[in-house]
Structure 1
Amino acid sequence: MNVYGGPGPPSPHRQDRARHRSHPGRRWEIRYRDRGQVVRKEGFRIKEEIWIEKYRPMSLDDVVGQEEIVKRLKSYVRSRNVPHLLFSGPPGVGKTAAAISMVRELFGEEWRGNFIELNASDERGIDVVRHKVKDFARIAPLGNAEFKVIFLDEADALTNDAQSALRRTMERYSSICRFVLSCNYSSKIIEPIQSRCAVYRFRSLSEEAVSERMKTIAEAEGVKVTPEGMRAIVYVARGDMRKAINALQAASLMEESVTEETIYQITATARPEQIRDLMKTALAGNFTQARSLLDDLLLVQGLSGEDVIIQIHRQTLSLLDSHELSGPTLVRLMDRIGEIDFRMTEGANERIQLEALLAYFALAGTEG
């Protein structure tokens, strides 16, 4: 502002941002203030968008890997008669995307006025049901809509008292409001709510679905991905589309070509062959060498104990498929992996527990 209180000329860094918005492909000399001084810095092209938001599905046809569920949701849209819904499944498989896409197709341009999204993990108590949910549910729909939709994300984080209050609200305002609940574990939703909803169980996305979506995004963004890099993205994602997109975006900012090495570095994930070497060395009875390989994973690469135990679990099954591990030995190892994982979850020292697991592997390998 000037001395008379009116708006002054735009600051240099605001002008730079305005030029960037009008010409996003150019390189600009970015200015910013550091303790009262204007500092100049040569910057790269600024990428403000987050790809998981930029490529969020806008219609039910864009939701991949859940063909049967999408087919049934489309039938609700055609009939314009939607029951209360409960979406259950692991993270990053399209539960929220399916709910929002269905609402967009139901209400068209008026969808924002007839839809509210609440994250139950932020406010878990009964007050969120008594106030926010109830206040929105009792208001009549806008425009030509027959009803409104309340989407409760992570509903399994609601307390039992809140879920009990929600049950009554679902009954009372069902004529003008529909509820869509999303959760990772349907067992944490009380039975009275489950019985009032049509339950849809989303599965983890297949490797083909993740790979095809990553190829589409890479082509749209002009990112080159090597075949090994694509396999690494699929391995790291484990059926989670959000994790795959984040890995692709982070890797694309580091190098022009996304490679296998880049993906494992930015996701703090060990290569599958490293975990296999660790397990084979331990099963061969060479505990000291296996401990050195574990040190490399924990100290040099910076992996957490949870990351290591999850990858050991995944590779144990692959050893059975390749006939490198017998059935009885697999049973004993799986039992011990589960025990070690539980101890680490309860707060036990990760290093000691993983070394104890390697010691058990060495004993199991020598005993046959």
Structure 2
Amino acid sequence: MSFFQQHSTKTSRKHVQDPALQPWVEKYRPKTIDDVSAQEHTVAVLRRTLTSTNLPHMLFYGPPGTGKTSTILALARQLFGPENFRSRVLELNASDERGISIVREKIKNFARQTPRAAQPHVTEDGISYPCPPYKIIILDEADSMTQDAQAALRRIMETYARITRFCLVCNYVTRIIEPLASRCSKFRFKPLDSSSTSLRLHQISSLENIPISTSVIETLINVSQGDLRRSITYLQSASRLSHSTNPPTEITSRDIQEIAGIVPDDVINDFATVLGVDIVVGSGMQTDSKGRAPGFDGVRSKVRELVREGYSASQILSQLHDLIIEHPTLAAHRKAQCALSFAEADKALCDGADEELWILEAALQVYKALA
């Protein structure tokens, strides 16, 4: 075997990845736009572009983990097929390559190249690849591009529109300059609803042979807040944790909360009870041995206990805020007083203030508001 044959064999082996070691986010990334969860409106429009192959410049925007990058990659694969995908698609993460030099050199050079003619073809499996006569440039995290870089992109999009189409992917559409946004068809990606996320997580757990309860799925949905990528990552981490023992243990909601960095519900409920929040209907406030609600010393000892456990101050206050605001029987003016104290504490924590002092400050303000 010659040196070049050996080198090519090593290179080919290098790119073969064991599916067992692959992140589930990549392993179960949609292969076609029909596999994309939720986003019915966007999928319906893009499905029609597959038949006409007349693709405009596009702007995908929405929260993280809602399928923006997966959708455009799936569409590109369906347009060009595996053989032409590498030569026809340029994917750049604009958060890394965000300056004007990248636009003037890398993007412009790729955009100006006339694509090699390729005939539409149908595979043996009956899958058709129309392979239209243009290329696609995908700019992920486009809202991280500088203003100058975005301005330089305007002329390139116009000049080479016949042979190159752009897809800008971003979280915050307001950070894309108006002249650039007006050149694109906008597609808003919504946070995934509970049923779509639940269906996808059940599919993955069944394919991976992981027994998982409905309560665990609900916990995953709650902690991920519409971010499917995050919920899949948490599920994979929990699966590895459960298989680290022999025999494997069952995944619980507590496991998911620990992985996600969420303070367990019983810890927050216990803290809220000390502050005078009635958690269970009819239970009344927790009282000390003398029949009084815990005062300053009781609140301070509870705060110290939470800090010793290593929980994040921001996370504690965020969950306590949600519990109080969503409380069914608390008066609106009391909720407003509590919300103001949480806002003040959050601002102080963002500025680098002491965590224990500000948890105590917010806790005492809530305690006073609920007295």
Band of TM-score, shorter chain:
0.7 to 0.9
Q: How far apart are the structure 2 equivalents of 1:216 and 1:290?
A: 45
- 2:34 is aligned, of 61, 72, 78, to 61
Judge conservation of contact 1:89–1:184 (CA < 8 Å) in 2: yes
Deviations 1:310-344 (A, max 9, x none): 3234333321xxx2322222233333333332332
Amino acid at match of 1:81: N
- Cα shift at 1:288: 4.1
Q: Indicate whether 1:364 and 2:369 are aligned.
A: yes
Task: Tell me which of 149, 172, 194 is aligned to 1:185.
Answer: 172
State the alpha-carbon separation in 1 of the partners of residues 303 and 107 from structure 2: 50
Look up the equivalent residue of 1:364 and give its one-letter code.
A
Structure 2 equivalent of residue 317 of structure 1: 325
Q: Deviations over 1:41-70 (max 9, x none)?
A: xxxxx9412111101111111110211111
C-alpha deviation, 1:280, in angstroms: 4.1
1:33 aligns to what?
none
Q: Residues of 1 paired with 2:108 and 2:71: CA distance?
A: 24
Contact 1:272 1:315 survives alignment (8 Å): no
Q: CA 1:74–1:335 in 2, change beyond 3 Å: closer, same or farther?
A: farther
Structure-1 residue corresponding to 2:93: 119
Change in Cα spacing, 1:339 to 1:227, as seen in structure 2 (3 Å) is same
Deviations 1:261-309 (A, max 9, x none): 2212222211234324423432457454444444444431x33223223
Match of 2:308 in 1: 299
CA distance in 2, matches of 1:344, 1:142: 56
Unaligned runs of 5+ in 2: 1-5, 7-12, 119-131, 243-247, 278-292
**Structure 1 match to 2:275:** 282
Other structure's SS at 2:275 match: helix
- Which structure's relative contact order is higher, taking Cα pairs within 8 Å and 6+ residues apart? 2
Matched, 1:98 2:71: yes
Alignment partner of 1:155 out of 127, 142, 161: 142
Residues 162 and 280 of structure 1: CA distance in aligned 2, closer, same or farther (over 3 Å): farther
Whether the aligned pair in 1 keeps the contact of 2:337 and 2:366 (CA below 8 Å) is: no
* 1:14 corresponds to: none
Residue number in structure 1 paired with 2:252: 259
Residue type of the alignment partner of 2:68: K
Return structure 1 stretches of 4+ with deviation > 6 angstroms: none
- Cα distance change, pair 78–328 in 1 and its aligned pair in 2 (3 A): farther
What is the 5 A alignment of 1:110-259? 110-144=84-118, 145-255=132-242, 256=248, 257-259=250-252
Tell me if structure 1 keeps the 8 A contact 2:36–2:71. yes
| CA distance in 1: counterparts of 2:362 and 2:52, whole angstroms | 56
Identity within the alignment, %: 36
Q: Secondary structure at the match of 1:151?
A: strand
Alpha-carbon distance, 1:92 to partner = 0.6
**2:90 counterpart SS class:** strand
Q: CA–CA distance in 2 between the matches of 1:295 and 1:81?
A: 62
Q: Is the 1:93–1:239 contact (alpha carbons within 8 Å) kept by the matching residues of 2?
A: yes
